[in-house]
Structure 1
Amino acid sequence: MTDHAAPLNLTVIVASTRENRFGPTVAGWFTEQAREYGEYEVDVIDLADADVPHRLGTEPTPGVAAVTARIAAADAFVIVTPEYNHSYPAPLKAAIDWHYSQWQAKPVAFVSYGGMGGGLRAVEHLRQVFAELHAATVRDSLSFHMAWEKFDTDGQPHDTALANGAAKRMLDQLTWWARTLRAGREHTPYTA
């Protein structure tokens, strides 16, 4: 049995791979919040740096294998995503689809960003996808509407009290789910 006070493994996935993307700014701020929260060992998978092919083949590449090990080790996930054409980026879909059991019985939270919609439609699509993978999405998410106007040149939100408070509330929920589901997986292995 795992010590319930032991840190949880949180994997933050940066979904956008586009040139001049804003994702690293949002992910950098959130990762700092997660580390300061004190419950997590944080691993960041930036899909721009991961060798995950968009075309699913019969044999995973070494890049897929490296990502697989990191996803499998996670107790919880936070997806940092923009909204592209009312949904989420193709590299994220590929990273999700290369895996199955690694997502099961683990909680997923979302930090979205974008224009007027703040990435919320991407999050709603992801909730359906993760339900199919037997993952539990937490209710609260963070959303930055017109995100590039919400952060300063140091990568911090202009309204730090509001943003940091919202991050803490989401992390509170994620932590409850992560500890509960980790204990459940240890007690009874999950089967889909």
Structure 2
Amino acid sequence: MKISIISGSQRPKSQSLKVASYLAERLKARGAVAGDPIDLGLAPLPFWDESAFSSEPSPLNDAWKPISAELSSCDGFVVVVPEWHGMAPPALKNMLLLCTSELAHKPGLIVGISASAGGTYPMVELRLTGFKNNRICWIPDHLVIRGVKGVLNGTPAKDEEAETAIENRCDFSLAMLVEYARALRTVRESEAFDLKTYPFGM
């Protein structure tokens, strides 16, 4: 079982990466292989253009190839998405545009984060538009981590009860993601799985 974690912020050393790293450690404790998060702040991808349709070398294809291979090898995904002006960051939406079969019929857990009391709008955005052609299956559960600078820091929290509640909810949602990943393997191994004839959603 291999779950990949994507830190959707294009800022280096972001709070998204902090949360992604925490969740990676929780997945390792659960026995689901989780390497270092894919950090869109560390290595931003070039914006999508028509060279993505070509097999010829290009800056876009050269940058995308190793990430595509990593995503293709995974059974499920955690996507940590900060709220910027009520939206998902462009780096994350760009990555979803580049995906073709890498995420197809694999489960995704959305983790919304906010420095204040927000965090929900990007989740709505991803559920509405972030799945059509890449075919990721967002699971019903999601996480919202508000006041993110004050939690999951590896130090005693100001509000220990709230910290424990967040940690427990993270473990619950990750456990559900792993079970969805096991179940959706059956879908991908079935005769109905045909991305060659129908590569795009309606």
TM more than 0.5: yes
Task: State the 1:154 CA deviation.
Answer: 4.4
Q: Select between 8-17 and 121-130 the one with higher mean Cα deviation.
A: 121-130
Contact 1:25/1:155 (8 A) holds in 2: no
Aligned position for 1:3: none
Same amino acid, percent of matched pairs: 22
Q: Which of 161, 164, 170 matches 1:167? A: 170
Equivalent residue runs for 1:80-159 within 5 Å: 80-132=80-132, 133-152=134-153, 154=155, 158=160, 159=162
1:35–1:153 Cα change, 3 Å: closer
> If you compute each CA radius of gyration, which structure gives the higher value, 1 or 2?
2
**3-state SS of 2:131 partner:** helix
Q: Select between 57-66 and 29-38 the one with higher mean Cα deviation.
A: 57-66
Contact 1:56/1:98 (8 A) holds in 2: no
Contact 2:5/2:79 (8 A) holds in 1: yes
Q: Give the AA of the match of 1:93.
A: K
Tell me if 1:26 matches 2:16.
Answer: no
Q: Structure 1 residue runs of 4+, over 6 Å off?
A: none
**3-state SS of 1:140 partner:** strand
Aligned position for 1:13: 6
Q: Cα deviations across residues 94-145 of structure 1 (Å, max 9, x unaligned)?
A: 1111112111111010122113444211111111234313221111111111
Q: Select between 90-99 and 41-50 the one with higher mean Cα deviation.
A: 41-50
| RMSD of aligned Cα (Å) | 2.2
1:20–1:14 Cα change, 3 Å: closer
What TM-score, normalized to structure 1? 0.85
Aligned position for 2:179: 176
Gaps of 5+ in 1: 1-7
Q: Select between 121-130 and 13-22 the one with higher mean Cα deviation.
A: 13-22
Contact 2:44/2:91 (8 A) holds in 1: no
Gaps of 5+ in 2: 53-59
Aligned position for 1:62: 62
Query: How far apart are the structure 2 equivalents of 1:19 and 1:155?
Result: 25
What TM-score, normalized to structure 2? 0.81
**3-state SS of 1:12 partner:** strand
Task: State the 1:182 CA deviation.
Answer: 0.9
Aligned position for 2:189: 186
